[in-house]
């Protein structure tokens, strides 16, 4: 309980302080609800519109999670290939890095043109954005395998797939979670971008609609929801990590 | 004439321009405990790497029971200096790795075998714990059990106690002497610790610095079981002195 408080309290204080600054600035400056409504108005407007906001959050969350699932499957597959072959690593890595330089603004409408207004373009965009940090995290993790551990299994007569399964893959899991955390902070934004480019539901559509009717308070309310969603997903990676590789956190605690 | 368990003849190995082993010959009998004693950088670990197949020899013969060594069925179980226990496996799962990978056992059989081995290594109550919860000495014993669990004829121990503190090291050396007396594995031990070599070995090879080869081969005819008291007696002291002199002679040569 004390520990939870110690983790949760400082960021809450910072957020609260920012909220106060926002509130005061908007009220004192009297900027008008269209330009910058005070935080209290954003919160109450969001609360009043909670049903519609929640209905918009669900599809976005679904896109994020599905996009992530696709991204992870591909990331694992590609990373195994790249770990197995130096030639594959040297030839494919530049392409992967290049794929990260395409701006989302350009890509989002293109994906909609190619795949329509359905779920597919959103999943693709989320996967594309989140895939790279996960691959890098995995590759880094494989490389962190202890050399003696690999040699030991080799002397036991283990084949490459066995060495991979028994040493390289488990060694890579901490790196995988690091990559996952970086990726997850991009994921929600990517989904909203994809919705912006063309969709029927989702937070992106909600924001667009609010924007078009000059409801800045609702736009900002949706932005707050986005932030909370990303934070929740980020926190979830720690929980999943704790469940999948409990030895990692425990061993680090002991060694400190 | 009986054939040796391991017979190494005219072994040569260079890393680039650096000749590490030059015309090295040695043999190990079945059930014998042989130590290779040498200063750091003399290539003693390279001998094990060649034996366990991680490094190919440039030339030379490797005979096992008089026959050329068949790499497909390596008779060697190698134990590295650091325990390399996997943190994601419990102690018994780590030990089971030996039977699972090298012994070709099923997961369940390997685990059963590992559990049966634990008492010998003083780990009966620690099967389900994680390696990071163990002391350095216990970790090394677990690594030892994993080596034995491979079910292979010959143990190659690469300075297994080198990374331990002095107290734990002595404790484990005495422990190994005791358990070796019961199990009588064929062992090749790499060490730079003269006392360790005298305590544990039937025979010791002293390796000179880089590529000078074997400078001394010495029988250790001390009775077993051996103890710290025994190391204090005149015979043991004389053997230690002889080994120490050989080590240092090699350095100034």
Residue B89: name the closest of B43, B22, B149, B18 by CA.
Answer: B149
CB pairs under 8 A between A and B: 55
Q: Which domain holds residue B101?
A: 85-152
Contact B80 A148 (CB under 8 A): yes
What mean pLDDT do residues B10-36 have? 92
Q: What is the DSSP letter of B3?
A: P
Contact A166 B97 (CB under 8 A): yes
Contact A156 B102 (CB under 8 A): yes
In a shared domain, residues B65 and B178: yes
How large a percentage of chain B has pLDDT more than 70?
A: 98
Q: Does residue B80 sit within a domain?
A: no
- ipTM of model: 0.90
In a shared domain, residues B67 and B161: yes
In a shared domain, residues B9 and B48: yes
In a shared domain, residues B67 and B162: yes
In a shared domain, residues B14 and B115: no
Q: Does residue B113 sit within a domain?
A: yes
**What are the pLDDT digits (tens) for A159-169?**
999 999 999 99
CATH number of the domain at B210, please.
Answer: 3.40.50.300
Residue-by-residue DSSP string for B155-192: EEEESTTTTS-HHHHHHHHHHHHHHHHHH--EEEEEES
Lowest mean pLDDT of A180-184, A230-234, B129-133, B245-249, name the range: B245-249
Q: Does residue B17 sit within a domain?
A: yes
Domains recognised in chain A with CATH numbers: 39-255 (1.10.3720.10)
pTM: 0.86
The beta-carbon neighbor of A157 closest among B97, B101, B130 is B101
Q: For residue A99, what pLDDT band results from cuts at 50, 70 and 90?
A: confident
What mean pLDDT do residues B44-49 have? 90
The distance between the two most distant Cα atoms of chain A, rounded to a whole number of Å, is 75
Q: For residue B68, what pLDDT band results from cuts at 50, 70 and 90?
A: confident
In a shared domain, residues B136 and B237: no
How does strand B214-219 pair with strand B203-207?
A: antiparallel
How near does any CA of chain A get to the CA of B25, in Å? 22
In a shared domain, residues B68 and B168: yes
Q: Does residue B106 sit within a domain?
A: yes
How many domains would you assign to chain B? 2
Chain B environment of A149 (Cβ under 8 Å): 84, 86
**What are the pLDDT digits (tens) for A119-146?**
999 999 999 999 999 999 999 999 999 9
Residue B218: name the closest of B196, B233, B197 by CA.
Answer: B197
Contact A155 B87 (CB under 8 A): no
B interface residues, A as partner, C-beta within 8 Å? 52-54, 74, 76-78, 80-82, 84, 86-88, 97-98, 101-102, 130, 132-133, 150
Of B134, B152, B170, which residue is a domain's last?
B152
Of B103, B121, B152, which residue is a domain's last?
B152
Q: Does residue B28 register a pLDDT over 60?
A: yes
Q: CA-CA distances (angstroms) from residue B213 to A251, B31, B246?
A: 43, 24, 12
In a shared domain, residues B16 and B112: no
Tally: H helices and E strands in chain A: 12, 0
The beta-carbon neighbor of A157 closest among B54, B84, B102 is B102
Chain A environment of B74 (Cβ under 8 Å): 155, 157
In a shared domain, residues B164 and B49: yes
In a shared domain, residues B226 and B135: no
């Amino acid at each position: 309980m004390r520990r939870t408080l110690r983790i949760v309290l400082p960021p809450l204080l910072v957020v609260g302080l920012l909220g106060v600054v926002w509130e005061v600035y908007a009220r004192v400056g009297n900027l008008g609800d269209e330009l910058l409504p005070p935080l209290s108005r954003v919160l109450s407007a969001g609360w009043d519109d909670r049903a519609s906001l929640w209905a918009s959050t669900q599809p976005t969350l679904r896109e994020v999670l599905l996009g992530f699932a696709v991204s992870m499957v591909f990331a694992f597959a590609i990373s195994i290939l790249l770990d197995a072959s130096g030639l594959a690593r040297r030839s494919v890595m530049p392409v992967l890095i290049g794929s990260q330089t395409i701006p989302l603004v350009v890509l989002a409408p293109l994906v909609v043109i190619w795949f329509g207004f359905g779920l597919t373009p959103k999943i693709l965009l989320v996967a594309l954005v989140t895939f790279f940090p996960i691959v890098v995290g995995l590759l880094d993790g494989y490389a962190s395998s202890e050399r003696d551990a690999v040699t030991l299994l080799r002397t036991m007569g283990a084949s490459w797939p066995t060495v991979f399964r028994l040493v390289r893959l488990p060694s890579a899991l901490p790196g995988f979670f690091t990559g996952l955390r970086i990726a997850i902070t991009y994921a929600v934004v990517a989904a909203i971008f994809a919705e912006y480019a063309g969709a029927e539901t989702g937070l992106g559509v909600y924001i667009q609609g609010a924007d078009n009717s000059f409801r800045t308070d609702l736009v900002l309310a949706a932005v707050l929801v986005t932030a909370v969603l990303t934070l929740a997903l980020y926190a979830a990676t720690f929980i999943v990590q704790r469940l999948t590789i409990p030895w990692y956190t425990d061993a680090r605690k002991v060694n400190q | 004439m009986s054939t040796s368990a391991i017979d190494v003849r005219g072994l040569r190995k260079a890393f680039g321009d650096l000749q590490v082993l030059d015309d090295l010959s040695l043999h190990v009998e079945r059930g014998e405990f042989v130590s290779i004693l040498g200063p750091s950088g003399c290539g003693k670990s390279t001998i094990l790497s060649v034996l366990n197949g991680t490094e190919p020899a440039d030339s030379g013969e490797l005979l096992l029971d008089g026959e050329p060594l068949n790499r497909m069925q390596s008779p060697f179980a190698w134990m590295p200096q650091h325990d390399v226990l996997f943190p994601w496996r419990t102690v018994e799962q780590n030990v089971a790795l030996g039977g699972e990978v090298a012994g070709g056992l099923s997961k369940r059989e390997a685990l059963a075998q590992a559990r049966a081995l634990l008492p010998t290594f003083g780990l009966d109550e620690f099967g389900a714990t994680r390696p990071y919860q163990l002391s350095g000495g216990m970790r090394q014993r677990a690594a030892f059990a994993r080596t034995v669990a491979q079910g292979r004829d010959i143990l190659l121990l690469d300075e297994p106690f080198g990374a331990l503190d002095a107290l734990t090291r002595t404790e484990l050396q005495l422990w190994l002497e005791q358990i070796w007396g019961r199990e009588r594995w064929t062992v090749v031990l790499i060490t730079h610790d003269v006392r360790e070599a005298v305590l544990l070995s039937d025979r010791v090879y002293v390796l000179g610095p880089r590529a000078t080869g074997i400078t001394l081969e010495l029988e250790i005819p001390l009775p077993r079981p051996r103890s710290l008291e025994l190391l204090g007696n005149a015979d043991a002291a004389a053997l230690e002195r002889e080994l120490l002199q050989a080590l240092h002679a090699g350095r100034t040569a």
